[in-house]
Amino acid sequence: MTALTLSTAGAATLRADVLVVGIAKSGKALVVAPGAEAVDKAFEGRLADVLETLGASGAEGEATKLPAPAGLKAPVVLAVGLGSAPEDGESYGTEVLRRAAGTAARVLTGTKKAAFALPIAAAEDAGAVAEGALLGAYAYTAYQETAKKPLGEVALLGAKPRDKAHKAAAERAQAVAEEINRARDLINMPPNDLTPAAFAAAAQAAGKEHGLKVQVLDEKALAKGGYGGILGVGKGSENPPRLVRVAYTHPKAEKTLALVGKGITYDSGGISLKPAGHNETMKCDMSGAAAVFSSVVAAARLGLEVNVTGWLALAENMPSGSATRPGDVLRMYSGKTVEVLNTDAEGRLVLADALTKASEENPDAIVDVATLTGAMVLALGNRTFGIMSNDDDYRTAIHEIAGEVGEASWPMPLPADLRKGLDSPTADMANIGERMGGGMVAGIFLQEFVGEGITWAHLDIAGPAFHEGAPYGYTPKGGTGSSVRTLVKLAERTAAGEV
């Protein structure tokens, strides 16, 4: 795990293996960003010229290494691009800083200590640099014997260790980044090791460490309670399903936020089997549950004055002689019956039972998170999650929060005319409807299982949850921890009475 320190030392005097500075584009010129004045002085004011000679342009995502001159304690300087320099009087955006710090941390894999001298104008900038560096330093190496170790220590320059706001921002960044990385670890874990029971055990272990109340319903308890959706999805697997409740409570809390996560630890599609090319990464189909779990732990670590309850609907969707068949009818925990026309539309079935159960506690709001539909990926791409809600103002609030923390999202409607496509001649409803607008159809299905009068939102993170391309910024290849930052900030706003 990468360590984080706030240093009062100057960029020229701190001993580190690498010194990270920012560069930007100002018109056609390359400029050195604030925070690196001492470094530029060591280069006799010619750092930008040297970097330009080496081909640096200042573009976001760019990283250029060069040997340090006399006068610097660090032997190597790493210049990371910040894009266009801001107008006079303005500062660099927090997401720009977060991505630049992440780029630097990725490039510095195998390095023991790096000093980050990026522009920090306020406490929120310090938090962004810290968060980006810790997220960028992430690597999943549990199954690799020869992998390089991630960056060992991030020394943050320019922040003020004795300033309460700066210190709090750094501590918050560390807690949130570590919980995002916890989610990433779970998402990246092979499905032969992360079964529903293993996920539940991980929740229990974290509960003991952070003072959370954890309850686990195994297959017997699920059968006794009538959780037909979760059982129906999990019945084809030798690894039985679980429903896990993870609760954080604060004595001064006035509101309760319920989070519900889809936790399909492996999704083969069931009898409606996925074709080759579509099942190789389906260990990531529990990303929603991972995000919910990590968000509850983060709320506990931050001591937020709000009750946050996480519901992890865990199952493995496999084909076998005991698996649910297309045409089967399941009786859900709510009492509704659902005709299963496609066993690969399983996430909504486990979420439906969890939403009904969460509604029984009458929280102030419920937010479910799921890698739910390929249709949402087609609509919004691989980096943006969709937001649906039964309350337009709440949907807008989550969208704005996501933008504030640097997560791309887009509000989506729940058109009433799409509900008819879910009608079934056999049961109360079917689990699939019209193909066009499939992401919204899934949201309409879920809405049927939310308790009356409860504010609810649905985040479809199918696009950004698992990144198959080359790493960029602070985003690694594999599990990303998508939506954790949004959920934590939503919990903070809920605690403050702002949502």
Can you list the positions of beta strands (E) in 205-294?
213-217, 242-248, 256-267
Cα separation, 295 vs 16, whole angstroms: 33
- Sign of the C-alpha dihedral computed for residues 227, 229, 232 and 235 taken in this order: negative
Cα separation, 111 vs 447, whole angstroms: 49
Q: Which of 274, 331, 336, 383 is catalytic?
A: 274
CB 16 within 8 A of CB 104: no
Is residue 348 part of the annotated active site? The answer reads yes
Residue 284 to residues 267, 446, 482: CA-CA distances in angstroms? 9, 21, 11
In the DSSP assignment, the letter for residue 16 is -
Nearest to 120 by CA among 163, 182, 65, 63: 163
Nearest 5°: the CA angle 92, 130, 48 is 45
Please give the backbone phi and psi of residue 325, each rounded to the nearest 5 degrees, phi first. Answer: -105, 150
Give the helix ranges, DSSP H, for 371-428.
374-380, 392-405
In the DSSP assignment, the letter for residue 206 is H
Nearest to 465 by CA among 186, 101, 95: 186
Nearest 5°: the CA angle 216, 281, 214 is 15
Is residue 331 part of the annotated active site? The answer reads no
Element (H, E) at 293: helix 287-302
Cα dihedral: 338, 342, 344, 350 (round 10): 0
CB 259 within 8 A of CB 295: yes
CB 485 within 8 A of CB 295: no
357: Cα within 13 Å, side-chain hemisphere? 29
Cα separation, 236 vs 119, whole angstroms: 54
Cα separation, 310 vs 452, whole angstroms: 20
CB 217 within 8 A of CB 261: no
CB 344 within 8 A of CB 272: yes
Q: Which of 106, 184, 262, 348 is catalytic?
A: 348
**Active-site residues: which are they?**
274, 348
